[in-house]
Amino acid sequence: MLGKIPFGYKKSSSSLFIVEQNQADVIKKIFNIFLENKSINKTVNELNEVSSKKWSYQSVKHVLQNDFYIGNYRRYNIPVSYTHLRAHE
């Protein structure tokens, strides 16, 4: 993994990505609020009303555009398979 591990994940001893449940709930909330409002600004405002972490427009936009959150991981722009640990494993 190059760079920072995405918010909502941690790395296992076998180098797979594992969901951090508390943070994952925030990520789900970001997507749900955005789907409801269709606005990053409204998403930021609503999220900051209920979150202890303060979110910026750019940080929410990054989450929404980061295809890691739909199970894709790229290294040097090349897709890498089998990087996410499924919940039942």
Query: Average pLDDT of each block of 10 consecutive residues along the chain (89 residues)?
Result: 76 82 91 96 96 94 87 70 50
Alpha-carbon distance of 47 to 33, in angstroms, equals: 8
Burial readout 17-48 (b: 16 or more C-beta within 10 A, e: otherwise): bbbbeeeeebbeebeebbeeeeebeebbebbe
What per-residue confidence (pLDDT) applies to 4?
Answer: 77
What per-residue confidence (pLDDT) applies to 67?
Answer: 80
Contact 43, 30 (CB under 8 A): yes
